[in-house]
Each structure stands twice: as structure tokens, then as C-alpha cells.
Structure 1
Amino acid sequence: MFPKGPRFPAVKVPQVPGPNAYNPQEPDFDAYKHGAFLEKTTRFMKENVPDVPGPGAYDADAAAKTTRSSSRAGKPVTDRSAALQHKLEELERIHAENKKSHHLDLEHLKLELSRAQKSAAEHAERADKLKKQNDALESRVQELKKTGTSDQADLRELRMKLRVAEHERAQLAAKQGSAGEARQVLQAAESRRKEEVRERERKLAEVEKGLNSERKKRELAEARLADMKSKGDEELQAARVVANSLEAQLRDTRAAAQQMKGALLDLQKRTGDEEEGLLQRLEQHRMLVAQVATEYGRLASTTVPLSVHSRIKEESAILQMRVLRLERKLANAEGQVIELVNLIRHTKEDKQFLSARLREVDAETAFYSQALKDITQEERLDEPSIYRDLDNSLFSMGHEVLQSQASVQQGLVADSSVWSEFYRLRSDTLLLHSSALVKGLGNAEIQLEQSAAELAQAEGKYTELRATLEAAQVAHAEAQRQLSETTASLQISQVAEASTKKQLEDTRAKAQADVSRVEQALRTQKDANHRLAETAQKCRAAEEALQTEVDQMASELAQAERYQEAYNSLLEEVDALVYRNALAEEEAQRISRFNAEILGHNNPNQRIMYVDRIRRELYETKQKLLMSTRDRDAVAVNNEDLRHELELYKSVAVPPEMKPRTTVTRVGRVPLAIQNVNVISGTRLSESAKSLSSTGSLKKLEPMPEVEYGQGDMTIDELM
């Protein structure tokens, strides 16, 4: 920075006038004596025109002659009073410098206190954020619990359906007619139900995994909260240490004030006879101060002006803001890329879902076409025109299925092409934007490096200037120590004492105000820590309540399993009773038919076969009434569940996190054969499907075939 060598040029013959030949104005060195507090002080010296004459501006010989003549002229009283006045001014200046240093120390401590308060506020905000995150996690746990209960209910329903299907399979196995077709239908239904059961179990496992992950996240949040609490306690202890140091500095300041009072009293009492030598030394020190002032002026002229420094500082701030904006834009671009990736993944999942649905449609179409072919092969000789219509409808249905597959494939291809073009354009835009951001960051870094280099040069010059001033201050302090041994008049000392007392009172008042502000800040910090502790306690209480609720739900789940086992046993008993009832009804029909035959043989003119037919019809009506009542109850329960779910979707009072998910909506799917064929074939296929489905549940309770009315049979009127 600066070459090594002597700090000042060689000492020449002094060309300084005698004492009181001029009245130099002391430069303002206060802004350059506290290196760590440049942020709050005026860094550069005011450019005032010095009143001190430069070297060679007067005659040195004449000044020396006047000095000797004045020193030999008997030391007039005016010179002595002027010297004492100058000495008092120096003492006042030293006191003012000490006061300013104390004020700067207080400012520094205030800055540290404000930083501590800011960090405490940040910790409080983090605690609030963690609390909100914990609430969100709790709501997520509640939602997962609800989904788990709903999945368990669905699982129980599927198990019930599986048992019903097994029962129907057992009934269909007892039949002798269309056993093959019923077995195929039953196997398909059983496979679908098993797949649904596996899917439900997989979903339950995923829900349990999600619950475990949420628990881990909550534990991590609690650990972070504990760390932040410990950091807040440490910062509180640091603030207390700072307050104690402030109090110690205040006590030191008071002690220094007492010492200054003692020095003033000593100054009033002491007198001496060494004025001539002290005046000569004072002249030498003035020469030294003048030389220091000239050197300081030279150094001040070579330093950076205030306008240049402020301009560099503003440019640095502008560049920092620009860098922050560029970083924010880059973060936004990264977020957009993540959203695009998620959108691509979602599109792929939709494509897979559509392909799976298309495969299911193909399988069902093949199944129904095979069933229709089997039926048409058996009865084509009887009704050729009807089955020709069925063949035409089946052909049209297959053609429509192929057209729908082709349209779906075309839509998928068009969608993929559009998305690929969109991703390509978006990637080009992001690449251009990122290159512009990188270029702007490079320019900003270059400008920052230049400003940092200029600032380092200015700081180096400042350190050298500060070292020079410290040497001058040491010399001046030595001169003041020697001048403190002189005496002063009583009146001037009293005035100085009064002014010093006033300054001490002001300093004491300011120190008390600073201490009160520090205490108030400490109280606010304590309140913030107390609130943080209360928040942590509430979080722990909420966690304990959640744990108890989880335990209670586990116990209720265990009880529900026992109820489920009992319900399954009851279902088995009911199935056995139904089977026995069916056997009893068959036996009763057989006995009634046998009795009717016997009576018909004994009395051929009064047959009662018609009465037997009426009784069978009554039995069928009762059985249908029971089945319809059971179906009505099941439909009512399902309707109530759907209405409750719909109210949850539409209700405003229900919070958003409690509403059910809308990603998948369960809809009762109608077989596709009814949707794709015309009215005639659709109704016939639906009737055949209903006959196939009803044979399984009502086969054991099926009545005997009706006997055609013949001549000679008795009517209801004849029987009455």
C-alpha cells in the first residue's frame, strides 16, 4: 500500500512564530479516533480553509527576535492568562473527546442490543412457523386417520361381498343347467373382488407409511424447536452480559468523572515557578502540531472524497439488489421446471390409466361377444332373424369399439406431440433466461470486486492517517500532562469546574437513559422467551393428546375386529338357515305336489292343481318382497353415505383439510354392452345379465314351473 521509510521528512530549522503571535484553530480530529464506529460518524473531514499560515509565510528571524524580547520583557500577565486559557481549552477538548468516545461505545452497545432483539424476533417467527407446520401435520394425521377408517370400512364391505360371492358360487355349483357360464361369471367376479381387496390392503399400507413419515417430520420439528429455544437462551445470556458490561462502563465513567473533579481541585491548589520552560516546551509542541496538521492536510488531499465514496457505496447497493433479483428469477425458473416435470408425470399417469381402461373394455367386449356367440349357436335354428339382428348389432358394437380405440390413440399421439413442443419451447426460453442471468451475475461480480478494491485502498489510507494522529495525540497528551502542573487563576478554575459539572450531569442523565432502554429491551426479550416456552408447552400437550387419540383408535380397532369376527359367524349361521329354509321349501313343494297328484287321481273332476299354483305364486311374492326389502335397505344406506359425502363437498363450515379427496370418485359402472348396442339388443342383453345374476342368489328358493291351464281345471270362483 505505502512504501517503507520514514513517516515524516527530516526535521528542519523551525520557522514557527512565538507564543500568542497567532491563534490557530484546532482541527476536528474527533471523527478519526474510533476505528470500529465509522458507520455512525462522519468519515471525512470538513474541508475548511485553515487559518494557520504556511511555512515561509513570515519572517523567522523577526519572530525569533520578538520571542526573545518578549521572554526577556518580564513575562507579562496577559501571556500567562492566555496560556492558562489555552490550557483550559485543551482540557475541555480532552473531556469532549472522552465524552464522544463514551457516546460511541454506547451506540455500539445499542447496535449489539438491537441485533440481539432482531435475532430473538427471528427465533420467535421461526417458532410460529414451526407451530403452524405442526398444526398442518396434525391435520394431515387426522385426514390419514379418516382415510384409514374409510378404507377399513371399504375392506369390510369387500369382504362381505366376497362372502356373498362365495355363497352364490356354492349355490351356482348346485345347479345343473347353465353351470359353466355361471362359474365363469363367478370366477371373474371373484378375481375382481380379490384385486379390489389387494388394492385396499396396498392403500392401507401406504397410509401407514405416510403416517410414520408424518410422525418423523413432527419429531424433527420438535428437535428444531428445542434447538431454537436453546439458541434463544444463549442469546438472552449474551444480552445480559452486554447489559452487565454497560453497567461496568457506566461505573468506570463515573469513576473517571470523579478523577477529573480531583484533577480540577489539584489544578486549583497547585502553583509553580516553571512557566518559562513550560512555555518553551509549549512552543515546541505547537511546532509539532503544526507539522502534524500540514502532514494531515497532505494525507487528506490524497484520500478518496466523500462524494466518490458515497457513489461507490450506492453502486454497490444497486449491484447487490440486482444480484438478489437475478437469484430470485433463477429460483422462479427452477420452480417452473419442477412444475413442468410434475405435469409430465401426471400426463403419463393419465395415459397409463386410459390404456388400462381400454384393455378392460376390450376384455369385457370379448367376454360378452363370446357369451353372445354361445347363446346364438344354441338357438340359431329356432329364430334366425333375431340372431341375425344380434350379429349385426354385435358387429356394429365391435366397429364402434375399434373406432373409439383409434380416436383414443390419435388423441394420445396429438397430446404427446403438443406437450413435447411446449416443453421444447419452454426449455429454450429457460436456457435464454439463464444465460442472461449468468451474464448479469458476472458483470455484478466484476463491479463488486472493483468497488471492494477501491474500498480497501481507502481503508489503507485511513489506517496510516490514524497512526499519524495517534502519534500526535501521544505527544499532545505528554504536553497536557506537563501543562496540568501549572496553576490557573481561581475565577477561571471555578468557571471550568461549573462547566465540567454540567457536562457530567448531562453524561449521567444520558447514561441513565441508556441503561433504562437496555433494561426495557431485556424485559421484552424475557417476555418473548416466556411466550416461546408457552408455545413449546402447548405443542407438547397437543402431541400428547394426539398420542392418546392414536392409542384409543388402536383399541377401538381391536374391538372392531372382534365385532367383525362375530358378524362373520352370524353371517355363516344366517347362510345355513337360508339353506335349510330352501330345503324345507323344496320338501314342502314336493309334498304339496304329491298330495295334489293323489287328490287329482282320487277325484279327477275336482282337481286342486290350480290351488297349488296359487300357493306357489304367493310364496314367490313373499320371497320377492323380502328380497326387495333387503335391497331397499341397502340402497337407503348407500344413498345416505353418498348424501353425507356430497354435503361434505358442498359445506362451507367444513374446513378444506377435512373435506374428502376429489382425485378419484367412485361411480357404479354400468356394463359396457348396454351402452354400445341399440335398444333392442341392449334390453335383451340386460335381461340375460339379470337372469344370470339372479340365478345365483335365488336358485335355492326358486319355485316350481307353472302348469298350463287345461280344460277341466277348477277356477278360483269354483273353489270359493
Structure 2
Amino acid sequence: MFAKGPRFDKFKVPETPAPNAYNPQDPVDPLKRGAFLEKADRFKAIEELAVSTSNPMPPKPTGPVQRHVSNPSHSGDRYAALQRRLEDLERVHQDSKRSYLAETERLKTELARHQKQHAEQTDQIEKQRKQVALLEARLQELKKTGSSDSAQLKELKSKLRAFENERNRLQSEAAQIADLKTSLQQLEDKRRREVNERDNTMSDLEKRLTLERKSREILSSQYEDLKKSTESDSRKATRALQSQLEQSKSEATQLKEKLSIIQDQASAREEELLSQLEHHRLLLNQVVSEFGALAARTVPISKFERARSECLQAQVHNLKLERKLANSEAQVVELAHLIRFVKEDNFLLHERLHDAHEELAIHHDQLTDSSQQQPDDQASLDSLHTTILQHALESTECDLRTSNILSTLYKHHAEHLAIHSSLLSAHLSISESISDQHSSHLSETLASHEAIASKLETIQSEYSKVQEKMAAAEIEKNRLERTLKVVEERLGERETELEAIESLHQVALNNEKAHTQRLASTVQKHRMAEEGLRDEIERLTSELASLEPYRDAFEQLNTRIDSLLARKKVAEDEAAELIEFNAQILGHHNPAQRIVYVDRIRRELADAKQRIAELVVEQEKIKAQNDNLQDELDMYKSVMVPPTHKPKTHITRVTRMPLTNLTQSMNVVQSARRPGIKENHHSPGDLTVEDLEYS
């Protein structure tokens, strides 16, 4: 009744040859088939399987094919297995993509942390710049103290000149005493002349007496009468002379007392002068020691030039920051204009929304009136309602953007205010230190001026007293005849004492000259040593500049070695994974095509891992540098570290941070890869990761 047919369906021979079925003499054009080599359907086997129900005869192969006897459900099982493997591959790809996204999130967090560290390092650089400013202020203060010391030295020189003038005055007083001696000699000559005149008068009186003797006998009676009167007169004269003698003795005792007082004052003045001279000698020694200590503590000119260059660099950096601040202010102005424009747009949108609501109310009223006549307007009303909702959504989005822009504006404004407040506080501290220095210097100068004024008043009072005493001596010079020898002896003693004081002054002056010569020689030696050190520093700097290329090459070699080691580790891990993965995919339907996809995914993952390894190496370097800077800063701040073990300011290295942000530098580094890293070039016909996900 029915024709006898085959018991089993014939096996459909696939187009893909089996293993060990290639013939080298056959052409290779029929074998060049695949999704990425020709514009063919990727799932052609499914369609052929569907068509095979109507046409059970399989197509003839183009070349020699090794036939396999199997049931018709074997191809469906293989397709299901391939489909499962494809799903496994997609799941693996999704897992790898998920891990890649997690890795990118981790890198973003690391980037934020590095940016935070960068901000902290900029803050540390700002603090170090403030420390440099404080050190400059300290240097200016030391210069001012040096100038004040030089002013004190000049003041001491002026005091020494005043003492020399005092000595000259004493010498002039000695000349006045010599004038007194000459005046006393003149008085003695006058007294001698008076004695001679008296003798002449006495001789004349004797002659007259002889004449009177001749008349004595005649006047004997008268003489007896006059004798009583002359005796009484002589007694009166003797009494008057005795009273005058006692008065002269009392005046002589008073003069002796005054002379002793003057001698005591002169001795006290001499002791005071000696004490002042000793004090000035000690002060001069202290000034010399302080000058030596100052010369020992002075910084060489090379260090000063280095500090000045660093200060100039800091000023340039400050100018750049100010320029950035000006740019930020301009951006704030632009943001304000943008906010104003957005507000105007929002206002217009609100007006339009209000108009739309009114129009919607009108249409709604019309719709309620004519709902039975026009049922088709419901769709237009719905569309209008949706447009109104879209406009409302857009207005809310505009409000959200406006709030975001306002928040950024306030943030920039707060940063600007913080920078301005820090600058004002720094200027205020500098002005306060300068005002304190000026006030202390002014108080010192006022104290010195008051001391000089008091000394001048005492000297003027002493000078007036001496002038009064000289006037009294001129008035009483007639009564100093008996004490002339004592005064001459005392004057000789004073002259010897003045000569001794002058010799002491001369010795002190010679010592000062010798000390100044020694200081000049030591200063010359120090200058020569400084010039030698400067030449040595220049030579060392030139040698260091010549060694800069070697250091750069060494650093590049180290970075290259680190990257190669990290890449080697990644390659070894990837090779192990590939060995394990290739063993799983050797039995696929189209192994060449699948391996291409998996190899491309593997290359992308390897590049991502290589980039992660480089970022880890850079992170370790930045962390080590940050630890070093933190240790150095802790040593600066620590109280337990003695000043001798603290790092000096002239060896502190401050690395200038890059002017661009980290994302741009990362983009530059990512764009400028090494020539040794193989880049992925895909043909237009290749399948991408998105195609795999879609499939």
C-alpha cells in the first residue's frame, strides 16, 4: 500500500571537513568560509536543518570528505552542545566584563585617593612655602640685628670719641691749671715788687727817722705823749692783724676741705671712667665674639642663591596659582551668566507649562461638552498630556541642573574665600612680625637715647659745677699762696695719673687695632675659603648636571624593568589560563572563529591587566615618596628630635607637581604606549564584545 522507504534518515554531511581530511592538492577557496570572512549567515546550519525535513537528500561535498555514519539527531545534539558552550562563553564574557567594571571602579577609587594625596601634597608644598617665607623673614631679622649691631658698634666708637674729647678737656683743664700757675707766679712777682717798694719806703722812713732823731730831742716831750697813743694804736693793729690771721687760717682750712672734696670727686670720676672703660672693653669683646659667632652662623652665598632661586620658583608657582584663581573667577562669572540664562529658560518653560495647563483645561472642558460627538480627540488629548508631562520633566531636569550649577558655584566661591583668607592671614602674620620687630627696635633706640640724654645732663651739670669752682678759684686766687706747693704736688700726681690713663688708652687702642687687623685677616681667609667652596660647588653642580642623562636613563630602565616584570607575570598567568581554556574549546564546531573571539577578549583583558600592573607600580612609587615626605615633615614637627639631627633647609627637596590633572596625564600615558606592547587592530568584519553579548 505504501512504498517501502529507508528505515533511518540519511546523514547530512557538514561543509566543515573533519580532522585529518585536508588534501594539500585540493584548492583552498571552498574552505575560506566563516562569519568574519564572507557575508554569510552565522546560523546557516539551523536553516539547513529546517530545510532538510523537506529535502532529505544531503548536498554533495565539494571535495573528498570522510563520511561518518550517525543518526540524524546527532547534529541537533551537537548544535545544542555548541549553543550551551556559546552560552558558557557569553557567561564567561559577562563575568569578565563584570570583573573588568569592578576593576575600573577600583581604579577610579584609587584615582580619587591619589588625587586626594595630590591635594595633600600641594597643601604640604604650600606649608613649606610658608616656612620658606618665615625663613626669609628670619633672614631679614638677622640682617636687621646685624645692622643694629653695626649701629651699636658705631655708638661705641662715638662714645670712645667722647671719652677722647673728655681726655682732651682734662688736658685743657691742665692747661688752665698751668695758666693758674703763671698767674700765681705773676702774683708772686707783684708781691716781691710790693716788698721792694716797701723796703724802699722803709729806707726813706729810716732817712726820715734820722732826721726825726735829730728833732727827737726837741720833740721828746711830744714823743712821750705820743708814745702812749702809738702803743694803743699798735695794740689795736696787732689785734686786727690777729683777727685777720685767724680769718685767713679759717679760710685756708675751708680751702683745704674744698680741695679734698674736689680730689675725692676727681678720684670718684677717675674710678667711674676706669669702670666705664672696663665695661666698654668687655662690651667690645662681647661685640667681637658676637661678630665672630655671626660670621660663623652666616649662610654661604651659594645657599643663599639656592634659597633665592627656590623662593623665585615658589613665587612663579604662586603667580600660576593666582592665574588659576583668576581663571576660576572667570569660570564663576560664566557660571553665573549660565545660571541666569537657565533661570530665564526655566521661567519661559514655566510660562509655557502654565499656558499648556490652561489650554488643557480648555480642551478638557470642550471634551466634556463634545465627548459624544468627537470620541477621536482622546488620543490627541493623551498626546498633549504626555507632551505636558515631558515639558514638566524637562523643567524639573533644568531645575536639577540649575541646583547642581549653583552648588558648584558655591563650592568654587568657598574655595576662593578659603584661599583669600589664607593669604590674608599670612600677610597679617608677616605684618605683625615686622611691627613687633620695629617696636622692639624703637624701644631699644628710645632707651639708648634716654641713657645718652641722662649722661649728657650729668656731664653738663658737672661742667657747670666745675665752672663755678673755677670762678671761685679765680676769686680766691689771692688766698692760695700758702697752699701753692701742696697744689703743685697734687697737680704733679694728677699729671702722672693722667699720663697713666693715657698710656692705658693707648694700649687699649693698640689692642683694638691689632684685633681689627686679626679680624680683617680672618675675614679675608673666610672669603678665600668661601670662594674655594663656591668653585667646588660649581664644579660639583656641573658634574651633577652632566650625570642627569644617566640618572634619567637609569630611572627609565627601572620603570621599563618593573613594567616588563609585571607584564611577564601577567603573561605567565594568561598563558596558564590559555592552556587550560584551549583544552576546553578544541572540540567546537568552528574552532578557528571561536579562538579568534576568545583570543581578542584575552588580549583586551591582558592589556587591562598590564595597565593595572603599571598603575600599581606607580601607586607604590607615589606611596614611597609620600612616606618619605611624611617622615621628613614629622622630623620637622617633632620635639623629640634634637636640632642637630633635624634635616637642614638647604637639602630639602621640593618636587613640583604637574600642572595638568591626573586624568589628562593618564590619558596621555595611555595614548603614548610603549612600542613593545602589541595593539589590537580589528577588521570591520570581526565580531566585537558587543556582538557576542547581543548574540
TM over 0.5: no
Structure of greater relative contact order (alpha carbons < 8 Å, 6+ residues apart): 1
Larger Rg: 1 or 2?
A: 2
Normalising TM by the smaller chain, what interval? 0.3 to 0.5
